Structure 1
Amino acid sequence: MKKLLLCCLFLPFWSLTLRAEPAELLTDHPLAGTLWHVGEKRQASPEELFAAAAEARWILLGEKHDNAEHHRIQAEVVGAVGERERRPALVWEMAQPEHDAVLKAATAEQVDGLGDAIQWEQRGWPSWPEYQPIAEQALKYGMTMAAGDAPPAVRRNLGKGGSLDADTAADIGWSRDYNDDQRRRLMELLALSHCGMLPEKVLPAMADVQRLRDAWIAKVMRDEGAEDGAILIAGAEHVRRDRGVPWHLLPLEDEMLALAAVEVVRDVADPEAYPSFDPEQFDYVWFTARVDEKDPCEAFRKSST
């Protein structure tokens, strides 16, 4: 089951180009379409989630990148927050600092071409039209959009074993490191999500890159959300409370809501059997149908040959 849930969690390290597809598999699964309050182990209504999101300063919406239903859910939450007269900044994991000015200047009339303007699909992300409704909701309610990701050159340098310059390190709070258990679990997940094909020696640097990206996103959220908070659109691994962006936003956890959209797994109808159903990771989990049941490792092996 873990392998089925791990595909696309770490897109920046993959050489694949993803496509967002309709979630048409297992639509009759008993969990498909259900929303759960994880801490209380009970089903919740979308209205409850929307109200809770509108009260949170930091709203983190996690996705599986290639599932179009996840982007529809994210757009719905963004719109619900806007309807309640909140104007948080909308921060994109998928955009880099060079795209920030374009995002900030975007208007509703330009949203169709926004993907091309920031080279969305050219950089390997799924089809922009699948994400476009999120931007439309943000612009409809006057939310500022911002690029969340760290500069590629900084990520590459760190991934090769380099270090951050002193100013950058201080700016993103780099001195706050994972404890041994956090680092071990992240490296185990990185190894598993790359199908055991990575040399063990590269895992510590990859874990540092993940920490860099989360710390950078957290700084952008604090900066852009100084007035009315921020909403993050990102892969589910980035929005988990135990070591993702929320961990870098501490001590602001009481002002935070983390939602993960999660694909159902065939013959697994107990929500507590899913690794994401963990109150240390997420506040809410929204189960959806699947895009496919392909072995992600098969695609990864082909891309590596």
Structure 2
Amino acid sequence: MILRSLVLMLCLNLAEPIAAQNVMILGEVHDNPAHHAVQAAYVAELQPKAIVFEMLTEDQAAQVTPEVRRDAAALAGALNWAESGWPEFSMYYPIFQAAPDAQIFGAQITRDASQAVLVEGAETVFGVEAALYGLDRNLTPDQQAAREALQMEAHCNALPVDLLPGMVAIQRLRDAVLARSVLQAIESTGGPVAVITGNGHARRDWGVPAYIAEAAPDVEIWVLGQTEDDRPLEGGFDEIKSAPAIERPDPCAAFQ
């Protein structure tokens, strides 16, 4: 009942996208609680058969049993959330509650996989069906340059230039693994599927939607992006919502 009221309060108007789509990708700025409240409201309305979390590995997702799912502290403990590096679990737990019967899928790649990309490339690390998701092909020069520039900006212009191609390759692997998890969730449950992820992965032009379209063009996707203080959000979204920015430490302080 609380979540239903939140839907009305936020004026989400979800009837049309919910009726039409197999997959609803819900972007976020990871540490903004308002963004997670919006995600929980969408999930409560959609009642997906599966939820794919960028924040969980496959092994962590397997720990989400009905018993631990009923208790926030128990679930956080089962997921070892305190050691994960993600924002407070209290922001994410309402999403689990919003569709209590949804099967949980994890799509986070391990640190070892990220490091392996720098040596072996995303195609090799992804493994079987890498070509299905387009990982066997180089990006266009314009997209490669744009993505390297975003990586440099995201790291406060402090990265050595020769690291940028590897950072883009890691991002491509993450997008492809998320897309694969979505298709596995559809195959396992029949859908619909909700995806909880950052805006960078949610963007239509080169994020998860593009990889899903590459591998399974008949899958219908609806994408929400969430920004702060009405700042522009590039990448192509079906809807963009804004929330007030939160106070946070200077992310570039560590590079100074």
TM class by shorter-chain length?
0.7 to 0.9
Residue 283 of structure 1: which of 219, 232, 238 is its match? 238
What residue in structure 2 maps to residue 193 of structure 1?
A: 154
DSSP 3-state at the match of 1:286: strand
Per-residue displacement from partner, 1:77-100 (whole Å, max 9, x unpaired)?
A: 000101xxxx33100101112213
Q: Deviation of residue 225 (structure 1)?
A: 1.5
- What is the CA–CA distance in structure 1 between the aligned matches of 2:182 and 2:175, rounded to whole Å? 10
Q: Deviation of residue 253 (structure 1)?
A: 7.5
Partners of 1:111 and 1:136 within 8 A in 2: no
DSSP 3-state at the match of 1:65: coil
Asked if 1:225 corresponds to 2:183, the answer is no
Per-residue displacement from partner, 1:35-81 (whole Å, max 9, x unpaired)?
A: 8xxxxxxxxx411x354134211111010111111100000000010
Specify whether residues 286 and 151 from structure 1 end up closer, same or farther in structure 2 by C-alpha distance, changes over 3 A only.
same
- What is the CA–CA distance in structure 2 between the aligned matches of 1:108 and 1:123, rounded to whole Å? 18
- What is the CA–CA distance in structure 1 between the aligned matches of 2:115 and 2:31, rounded to whole Å? 24
Partners of 1:148 and 1:216 within 8 A in 2: yes
Specify whether residues 105 and 211 from structure 1 end up closer, same or farther in structure 2 by C-alpha distance, changes over 3 A only.
farther
Aligned residue pairs, count: 241
Q: How do 1:167-186 residues align onto structure 2 when only pairs under 5 Å count?
A: 168-172=126-130, 173=133, 174-186=135-147
- What is the CA–CA distance in structure 2 between the aligned matches of 1:246 and 1:214, rounded to whole Å? 9
What residue in structure 2 maps to residue 151 of structure 1?
A: 110
Residue 297 of structure 1: which of 248, 252, 256 is its match? 252
Specify whether residues 177 and 253 from structure 1 end up closer, same or farther in structure 2 by C-alpha distance, changes over 3 A only.
farther
Partners of 1:103 and 1:147 within 8 A in 2: no
What residue in structure 2 maps to residue 161 of structure 1?
A: 119
Residue 75 of structure 2: which of 114, 120, 132 is its match? 114
Specify whether residues 89 and 104 from structure 1 end up closer, same or farther in structure 2 by C-alpha distance, changes over 3 A only.
farther
Specify whether residues 193 and 253 from structure 1 end up closer, same or farther in structure 2 by C-alpha distance, changes over 3 A only.
farther
DSSP 3-state at the match of 2:121: coil
What residue in structure 2 maps to residue 96 of structure 1?
A: 57
- What is the CA–CA distance in structure 2 between the aligned matches of 1:165 and 1:190, rounded to whole Å? 20
Q: Deviation of residue 205 (structure 1)?
A: 0.3
Partners of 2:116 and 2:125 within 8 A in 1: no
Name which structure has the greater RCO, CA cutoff 8 Å, separation 6+. 1
Residue 244 of structure 1: which of 195, 198, 207 is its match? 207
Larger helix fraction of residues: 2
- What is the CA–CA distance in structure 2 between the aligned matches of 1:253 and 1:185, rounded to whole Å? 28
Per-residue displacement from partner, 1:151-182 (whole Å, max 9, x unpaired)?
A: 33211211x33235758433343224422222
Asked if 1:125 corresponds to 2:90, the answer is no
DSSP 3-state at the match of 2:63: helix
Root-mean-square deviation (CA, aligned residues, Å) is 2.4
* Aligned sequence identity (%): 27
- What is the CA–CA distance in structure 1 between the aligned matches of 2:116 and 2:196, rounded to whole Å? 25
Per-residue displacement from partner, 1:7-27 (whole Å, max 9, x unpaired)?
A: xxxxxxxxxxxxxxxxxxxxx
Asked if 1:258 corresponds to 2:234, the answer is no
Partners of 1:90 and 1:144 within 8 A in 2: yes
- What is the CA–CA distance in structure 1 between the aligned matches of 2:26 and 2:96, rounded to whole Å? 14
DSSP 3-state at the match of 1:171: coil
- What is the CA–CA distance in structure 1 between the aligned matches of 2:211 and 2:138, rounded to whole Å? 10
- What is the CA–CA distance in structure 1 between the aligned matches of 2:42 and 2:114, rounded to whole Å? 30
